[in-house]
């Protein structure tokens, strides 16, 4: 049964692409037409045909969460507003397409996979189950990966197909997507229909929030079906909300299936929440910044969902972004200058909360590190953490070098082979710097302890008076060098009781699984941010230009400034694309723009001026105080742009993307309302 356009029907392996194409042309498939389910609301109707016969009502997953009493909260409200929001399809658009090489050895029964997965150790376990192989017979090697953004968290059908072909052919088989196939067969960011009802008192205190979401799951279930686990955190915990009720349904359709994508549902939730923060503030005559500050979470608080905010720079983010952008003055000035010409300026603010220390999804959310020093003071870090372009190799090297007093040139990172490296759960949930960083620091501290103990014996100095700096053993008090590290390591190696400095450390964060009511401290740390954007809106054409983004992010501590600037800048541009340009056009179940010519990405000329500030809250659990920030910068851009368009024009647009056509329709009272 074919359920969506990306379904695999037949597979051919050949020595050349031309031979494979010729063989595919010989295959004839006969289809019987089935009724199409393209609208997610229609898929939930009683008479709707089933996409999967064993899934009544076409329900993939449902989530329900509650704290407090929303009926009581609404009764206590002086202002109540309700709106519908519509969020659309976008794709990851990684520069590197999906692919795999399968090498099955019939003699040994060993399978080697060269895969650009983000979760090699989970891949190993899942392939063992799918292929009914001993996990010890499976080796996953990661080549250089051209981006992931969540697109490579699952086993996708092309991978076991490649293994079966390799087994049948008795030779290695390579399967690499074309760009069009990448568009057709990769998961998407999940489209969402949001009904949000919110209230507050005249003094500005939030009273309640009630949410009903309908999510298009597509033809199959991937990670997109579980994005409500993150969405509900924003609705319940970004601000202090005493009463919250959340319901979501992910339903099957014949559309592309939804997967994990940077931000993991948070962009959709934040878009709705931050629109209501502005609308509620306006309704009671309060400045939107003051309204947010009044309801903002602070360090030491525990949200209704059980999230512990041990470190929290939220208010500092709000004040910093507002001050650096001159938000208050610009907002008022824009309101006064409305309708003075076709081109209007607007400023908008939005905030976000996201996990900053991983997320407890699997039995273990940890990472292992093996550290070894050779006779010449060179360090090899064997880490389970994968490098997919986010800069983890540099950060881990820096953390280890800070502990051992070595230059970065003294470090080699090995991280791409399940036969060599220790276990790690994978690259997702903004976890690598935090989780793998703690593992690397732990291993480095064990190595340092061993080295200083040997140095104390060699120099006759008390261990507590020694330190490692600039490649040597030094007096902690005055920094004078007693001996070089490489000399000490050689003496340890070649003495009568030969010894090597090899340590290992496994870090498991103190986060917990959410209970059956979706409550619990799911992350070891939480990232916060506020972004203020300035836009220019042309009412004659509907064109919206993003001129500037002023961003303030609580990052715990900056480890690598160049790297974190790159993360924030790239995330903002990804959020800009979600807001203004990108639209995976699905019509009648088909993708109409499967390529970079017609799928509109943000390019260099459209990138706005960026003003970045880092709020260092020195998280007590993070490595050297750091938090994860990989997903955070993309989350609130679209919400801020929506608020800026309203500030410029007085028109609130509830549906993404803000393409010229959609904006023009909205400004001229011809917009389509978000679907029910």
Asked if residue 248 lies in contact with residue 518, where contact means CB atoms within 8 angstroms, the answer is: no
- Say how many residues make up the chain: 676
Backbone angles phi, psi at 349, to 5 degrees: -120, 145
Identified catalytic residue from 66, 274, 631, 646: 631
Distance between CA atoms of residues 346 and 403, nearest Å: 47
| Three-state DSSP class for residue 612 | strand
Asked if residue 260 lies in contact with residue 224, where contact means CB atoms within 8 angstroms, the answer is: yes
Q: Is 159 a catalytic residue?
A: no
Closest CA to 229 of 11, 62, 467: 62
Distance between CA atoms of residues 518 and 513, nearest Å: 9
Q: How far is CA 434 from CA 218, 355, 558, 569, 613, in A?
A: 33, 11, 12, 20, 20
Distance between CA atoms of residues 401 and 412, nearest Å: 11
Distance between CA atoms of residues 286 and 614, nearest Å: 27
Distance between CA atoms of residues 372 and 502, nearest Å: 4
Environment class of residue 176 by beta-carbon count within 10 Å: exposed (0-12), middle (13-18) or buried (19+)?
middle
Tokens of 178: 């074309």
Distance between CA atoms of residues 401 and 561, nearest Å: 16
Closest CA to 278 of 289, 268, 293: 289
Distance between CA atoms of residues 111 and 114, nearest Å: 10
Q: How far is CA 289 from CA 280, 350, 354, 646, in A?
A: 12, 9, 20, 16
Distance between CA atoms of residues 581 and 159, nearest Å: 32
For the beta carbon of residue 200, count every other beta carbon within 10 angstroms.
29
Rounded to 10°, the helix 485-494/437-459 angle is: 80
- For the annotated catalytic residues, the residue numbers are 631
């Amino acid at each position: 049964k074919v359920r969506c356009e990306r379904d695999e029907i037949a597979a051919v392996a050949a020595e050349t692409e031309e031979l494979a194409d010729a063989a595919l042309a010989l295959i004839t498939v006969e289809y019987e037409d089935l009724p199409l389910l393209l609208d997610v609301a229609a898929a939930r109707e009683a008479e709707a045909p089933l996409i999967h016969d064993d899934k009544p009502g076409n329900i993939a997953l449902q989530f329900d969460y509650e704290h407090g009493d929303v009926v009581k909260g609404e009764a206590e409200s002086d202002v109540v507003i309700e709106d519908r929001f519509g969020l659309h399809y976008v794709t990851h658009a990684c520069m590197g397409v999906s692919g795999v090489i399968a090498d099955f050895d019939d003699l040994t029964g060993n399978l080697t996979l060269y895969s650009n997965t983000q979760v090699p150790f989970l891949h190993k376990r899942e392939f063992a189950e799918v292929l009914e192989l001993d996990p010890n017979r499976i080796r996953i090697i990661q080549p250089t990966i051209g981006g992931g953004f969540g697109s490579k968290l699952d086993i996708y059908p092309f991978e076991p197909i490649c293994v079966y072909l390799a087994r049948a052919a008795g030779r290695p088989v390579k399967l690499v997507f074309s760009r069009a196939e990448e568009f057709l067969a990769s998961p998407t960011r999940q489209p969402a229909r949001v009904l949000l009802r919110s209230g507050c008192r005249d003094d500005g205190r939030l009273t309640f929030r009630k949410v009903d979401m309908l999510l298009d799951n597509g033809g199959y279930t991937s990670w997109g079906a579980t994005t409500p686990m993150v969405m509900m955190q924003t609705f319940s915990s970004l601000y202090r909300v005493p009463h919250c009720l959340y319901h979501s349904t992910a339903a099957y359709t014949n559309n592309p299936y939804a997967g994990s994508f940077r931000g993991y549902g948070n962009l959709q939730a934040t878009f709705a929440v931050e629109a209501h923060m502005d609308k509620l503030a306006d309704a009671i005559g309060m400045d939107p910044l003051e309204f947010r500050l009044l309801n903002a979470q602070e360090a030491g608080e525990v949200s209704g969902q059980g999230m512990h905010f041990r470190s929290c720079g939220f208010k500092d983010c709000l004040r910093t972004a507002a001050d650096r952008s001159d938000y208050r003055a610009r907002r008022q000035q824009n309101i006064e200058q409305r309708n003075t010409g076709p081109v209007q300026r607007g400023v908008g603010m939005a905030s976000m909360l996201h996990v900053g220390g991983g997320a407890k999804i699997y039995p273990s959310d940890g990472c292992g590190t093996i550290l070894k020093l050779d006779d010449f003071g060179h360090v090899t870090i064997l880490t389970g953490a994968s490098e997919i372009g986010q800069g983890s190799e540099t950060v881990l090297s820096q953390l280890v070098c800070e502990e051992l007093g070595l230059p970065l040139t003294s470090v080699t990172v090995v991280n791409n082979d399940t036969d060599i490296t220790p276990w790690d759960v994978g690259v997702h949930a903004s976890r690598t710097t935090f989780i793998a960083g703690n593992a690397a620091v732990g291993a480095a501290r064990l190595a340092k302890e061993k080295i200083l103990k040997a140095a104390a014996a060699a120099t006759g100095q008390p261990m507590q008076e020694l330190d490692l700096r600039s490649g040597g053993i030094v007096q902690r008090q005055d920094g004078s060098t007693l001996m070089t590290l490489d000399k000490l390591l050689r003496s340890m190696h070649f003495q009568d009781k030969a010894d090597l400095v090899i340590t290992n450390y496994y870090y498991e964060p103190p986060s917990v699984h959410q209970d059956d009511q979706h409550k619990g401290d799911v992350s070891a740390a939480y990232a916060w941010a506020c972004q203020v954007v300035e836009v220019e809106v042309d009412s004659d054409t509907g064109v919206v230009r993003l001129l500037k983004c002023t961003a303030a992010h609580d990052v715990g501590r900056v480890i690598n400034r160049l790297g974190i600037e790159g993360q924030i800048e790239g995330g903002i541009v990804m959020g800009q694309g979600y807001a203004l340009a990108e639209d995976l056009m699905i019509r009648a179940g088909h993708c109409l723009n499967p390529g970079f010519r017609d799928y509109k990405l943000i390019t260099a000329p459209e990138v706005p001026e960026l003003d970045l500030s880092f709020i260092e809250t020195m998280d007590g659990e993070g490595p050297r105080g750091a938090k994860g920030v990989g997903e955070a910068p993309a989350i609130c851009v679209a919400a801020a742009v929506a608020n800026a368009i309203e500030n410029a024009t007085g028109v609130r647009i509830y549906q993404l993307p803000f393409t010229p056509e959609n904006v023009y329709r909205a400004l001229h009272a011809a917009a389509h309302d978000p679907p029910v």
